[in-house]
Structure 1
Amino acid sequence: MRRVKYRRKNRGYSAVEALVDAQKIVFSPMIFQTIGTMLDLGILKLIDKKPISANLIMEELQISEYAVNTVLESAQVFGVVDCDKEGLFSVTKLGKSFLYDQMTIVNFNFIRNCCYLGASEMTESFLREKPMGLKKFYKDGDTLYPLLPQMSEIFKKSWYEFDNYYSDNCFEEVYNIIASQHPEKFFDIGGNTGGFEKVCLVKNPNIDISMLDLKANIEVVSKNSQLKKCKFYSVNMLEEEPNLPKISGAVLMSQFLDCFSKAQIKRILENIKKSADKETKVYILEPFTDNQYFEASKLSLIEISLYFTCMANGNSKMYKKSEMIQLVKDAGLEVSNIYENIGTHEYTLLECSL
């Protein structure tokens, strides 16, 4: 027995282990939906209160024996729940992530409610360079962004929670960095829900700040009472010559350029340069994939690229820091400062000079 154990320990990653991992990938859509079902029905939350038998779960939640036993078997084999010798189920550390870890919850709801259906169109999306999965929700649309206000409430809730979760806790630090340069004006391109503007107005109620975004979003966000002092411009940055205001001071693009292909990013930066005076500073805030401390963060970011493929636009991704710096140079700008470890999710702020 000892000799066999020694051989197993030193033989590395075996074909059998590879097959087990392969089956985990094959059946991952099923366990994903199983966890969703356990959350919907209250099973995971009930088990977490105290170890409990399958029969008591059926009683307390009024769910059939078939449903309870089937989802519990699936959850157990994937390590989401455990079962002791007395037949009592408990939630594992992995399972608790879906109940209490905010990043896991936000990511799960986003994938489930915004991406899951569209992911089936990944091949066509790559071939056509269009978000073919978007048609699962809205048949007539080239990109997701103008359609967001028309999406279902659960789609919008999951999308905005995901989008805001990562970048919102960066804004105070970003404001302090930019404000230390004493710009007369702030321009936020792709301002979304106005998170950065709200922080700026709290920090400095007299600030001169403008948000530039698509018309559909501006129509919604401009009604926010917290943003009465903010100026708004409806601009489509994908146009060859977008109708930009005269820009000076500081420009921020927070998690905005990852919504575009490399060619589009270069054109956006070139158009900003044309519309700005030469003293303007351009700030790019991104969670670059090659600048992450935690493996879970890097994994999440790389997989988010596939959301852009299937659902958002068909041609963008989460970029490496080295890629973005090269695009800045290609557009005729220069990276003058790099601020790292912004917020709690390893964001990087590139300060660029024209």
Structure 2
Amino acid sequence: MLNKKFSPARQSAFDARFDAQKIAFGPVVFQCVRYAWKRGILQAVADAGDAGRSTAELKAVGGWSEYVLKVVLETCLSAGVVYLEEGRWVLDKAGFVVLTDPITQVNIDFNHDVCYQALFDLERTLDAERPLGLKVFGDWSTVYEGLAQLPEPARTSWFAFDHHYSDVSFPAILPDVFATRPRKLMDIGANTGKFALAALGFDAHVELHAVDLPGQLAVLDGNLAAAGLRERAVLHPTDMLDDAAALPGGMDLIWMSQFLSCFSEDAIASIFRRVATALAPRGQVLVMDTFWDRQRYDIASYCLINTSPYFNNLASGNSKVYESGDYIRLARAAGLELQTARDGIGYCHSLLRFVRAENG
């Protein structure tokens, strides 16, 4: 387990005051940098290389008014996205990252298209522990009920965010999934079927059981049919928040990826109890998730920690990005013991393997 330290222990009073102002004006900086990226201003600056471009030259290239260029680029200057050299705007390193780094772009789109308006209600949501920010998109109790109906561009940005962090991990973990040669594999929180399709393609003999809400399973059903894999899958429409919703038994392996973080600790405890009951005698549970305490770099922990307000304000009202110890503790209470843990998967995932306590 890693202990993270995000700032120097002896920060000066001046630096602390500057950092506090960055927090105060964070929303302003975010929107201006996003505008400069989306409207092509940063690209126009980048195209000039180290020579840079003057405000007048940028105006001639892109048709932006001098006023807009100054407002936006001066904010970008304050954020280290561009710098000024003899009256010419030049792309700085942070600007290069915004223009070229897929993770940064996915995070910006997710925070703008999905989270930004909703975050205005974060104070009320935290007090109520209900996702009150979700009302900007629809009348649902959780975002998962409305994923199939999310308006654009929120829907595209939500799935891009979800898939970008999880898809890259699937090829790396399939040998772990099939290490015990499971014949009956359950995917809880199957979503649109990225893992299901990968698993069915990896092993021609496995029988896959997909568990999710009806809306997500309808999308999965179509994706399986298009891939010619529908007959090897059994779909189980299930609301996992319903404590009485039992799972089919006899499973050799139960897989949950970026799923438990969608729920409160009480709900996770309930899910672990039902998962333990659904296992075959020698069955195992694999949980892949993004734990902020198991990251190698502060930047990954920073991004994960600051995803928790999304879970509070839009997803469920009472979920978050957890520490790995929380899962291990809740699984143990359900009769499951941690057998192995593997970190450094994909961008920021860890894989926890659980067995029944009597098998440990």
TM above 0.5:
yes
> Pairwise mapping of residues 1-354 of structure 1 onto structure 2 (< 5 A)?
13-50=11-48, 51-85=52-86, 87-138=87-138, 140-224=139-223, 225-226=226-227, 227-228=229-230, 229-343=232-346, 345-354=347-356
Stretches of structure 1 that go unaligned for 5 or more consecutive residues are 1-11
| Equivalent residue letter for 1:238 | L
| Equivalent residue letter for 2:113 | N
C-alpha separation in 2, matches of 1:207 and 1:13 = 56
| Deviation per residue, 1:270-325 (Å, 9 max, x gap) | 11222333222111111211100011100000000110011110101111111111
| Equivalent residue letter for 1:321 | S
| Equivalent residue letter for 2:21 | Q
C-alpha separation in 2, matches of 1:240 and 1:323 = 20
C-alpha separation in 2, matches of 1:83 and 1:259 = 44
| Deviation per residue, 1:227-278 (Å, 9 max, x gap) | 4243221111111211422241110000100111111100011112223332
Contact 1:187 1:247 in 2 (8 A): no
Stretches of structure 2 that go unaligned for 5 or more consecutive residues are 1-9
| Equivalent residue letter for 2:63 | Q
C-alpha separation in 2, matches of 1:36 and 1:339 = 36
Where does residue 6 of structure 1 map in the other structure? none
C-alpha separation in 1, matches of 2:286 and 2:11 = 45
C-alpha separation in 2, matches of 1:111 and 1:205 = 39
| Deviation per residue, 1:34-92 (Å, 9 max, x gap) | 0111122110111111111111111121111111111111111221111111x221111
Specify the SS of the correspondent of 2:169: helix
**Range with greater deviation from structure 2 (271-280 or 47-56):** 271-280
Structure 1 residue 175 displacement after superposition: 1.5
Contact 2:260 2:268 in 1 (8 A): yes
| Deviation per residue, 1:185-210 (Å, 9 max, x gap) | 11110011211112112222332112
Structure 1 ranges of 4+ moved more than 6 A: none
C-alpha separation in 2, matches of 1:247 and 1:97 = 48
| Deviation per residue, 1:105-148 (Å, 9 max, x gap) | 1111100110011111111111111011101222x211000101
Cα root mean square deviation, aligned: 1.5
Contact 2:253 2:279 in 1 (8 A): no
C-alpha separation in 1, matches of 2:336 and 2:15 = 49
* TM-score, normalisation: structure 2: 0.91
C-alpha separation in 1, matches of 2:89 and 2:27 = 23
Specify the SS of the correspondent of 1:48: helix
Specify the SS of the correspondent of 1:238: coil
Specify the SS of the correspondent of 2:251: coil
C-alpha separation in 2, matches of 1:39 and 1:72 = 11
C-alpha separation in 2, matches of 1:70 and 1:240 = 53
Structure 1 residue 173 displacement after superposition: 2.4
C-alpha separation in 2, matches of 1:276 and 1:14 = 55
